Copies of this chain bind each other. A is one copy, B any other.
Amino acid sequence: MTATVQHRLAVISEPNRFRIVELLKDGPRSVGGIVDQLGLGQPQVSRHLRLLAEAGVVEVTKQAQQRIYRLHPDAMHVISDWVQGFAALWAERMDRLGALLDDDRAPEQNP
């Protein structure tokens, strides 16, 4: 599977795909609608959408001749879970873990 967190981040972080994700944050969009917003060619947008879909970031719904793309809830949820794994960083200031390498160090230096 290509659905690791690392892969999803890589796919999302591409500038134009990031814009697509931000667009879809406000709700589903058709390919044509996305093309208008981005100013890219339709084939390029379709390719970006395919990569996003393969990474599980978006999902498609057919509606007449249009394909409606929307964000896949689970995708962002997985990323959220991953980020939460770092919550200890800003919750406990990592002082305990810092003791891993030494323990008699001058305190912090704040400019």
Residues of A whose CB lies within 8 Å of any CB of B are 6-7, 9-10, 12-15, 18, 25-30, 63, 68, 70-71, 73-74, 76-77, 79-80, 83-87, 89-90, 93-94, 97-98, 100-102, 105
Copy count, this protein chain: 2
Q: In whole Å, how far is A90's beta carbon from the nearest beta carbon of chain B?
A: 4
Dominant secondary structure at the A interface: helix
With beta carbons under 8 angstroms apart, the residue of B9, B10, B101 that contacts A28 is B101
A73-B90, A80-B86 are known; give 14 further A-B pairs, CB within 8 A: A10-B14, A26-B97, A28-B97, A28-B98, A28-B100, A30-B101, A70-B94, A71-B94, A73-B93, A76-B83, A76-B89, A76-B90, A80-B87, A83-B83
